[in-house]
Amino acid sequence: MKKIGIIGAGISGLYIANLFKKNPKYQVSIFDKKNSLNLNEGYGVQLSVNSVKFLNDIGFSKLEKDEKFYPEKINFYSKKDQDKICELDISKFNLNDCKYTTLKRSTLINFLKKDLNNLINTNYSVSKIDQEQEKIKLSFENKETHECDYLIISDGVFSKSRHLVSNNQIHPKYNNTLAIRGMIPAKSNIIDKKNILLFLGSDFHHVIYPVSPSGDLNFIAIMKYKLSAEEQKNYSLFSDKSFIQKILKNIPQEKKEFFNNLKELKIFPVFVSDSFFEVKNKNIHLIGDAFFAFPPSFAQGASQSIEGAHELFASIENNSNINFFKNRVNKTKMVNNRSKLNQLAFHLSNPLTVYLRNIFLKKLVKNKRFLESYLGKIYR
For the chain, domains (ranges, CATH) are 2-171+273-379 (3.50.50.60)
Q: Which is nearest to 344 in space by CA: 359, 354, 335? A: 354
Q: Which residues, 6+ apart, have CB-to-CB distance to 238 below 8 Å?
A: 244, 266, 267, 268, 269
Nearest to 304 by CA among 289, 314, 317, 315: 289
Print pLDDT tens along the chain (380 aa).
Answer: 999 999 999 999 999 999 999 999 999 999 999 987 766 666 899 999 999 999 999 999 999 989 999 999 999 999 776 789 999 999 999 998 899 999 999 999 999 999 998 999 999 999 999 987 789 999 999 999 999 999 999 999 999 999 999 988 889 999 999 999 999 999 988 889 999 999 999 999 999 999 999 999 999 999 999 999 999 989 888 888 889 888 888 776 555 666 777 888 899 999 999 999 999 999 999 999 999 999 999 999 999 999 999 999 999 998 876 789 999 999 999 999 999 999 999 999 999 999 999 999 999 999 999 999 999 999 98
Distances (CA, A) of 375 to 95, 335, 379: 15, 10, 6
Q: For helices 324-346 and 301-317, what crossing angle results, to 10°?
A: 170
The length of the chain in residues reads 380
Is the whole model's pTM more than 0.85, yes or no?
Answer: yes
CB atoms within 10 A of CB 353: 11
* pLDDT at residue number 256: 60
Q: How far is CA 88 from the centre of its chain?
A: 21
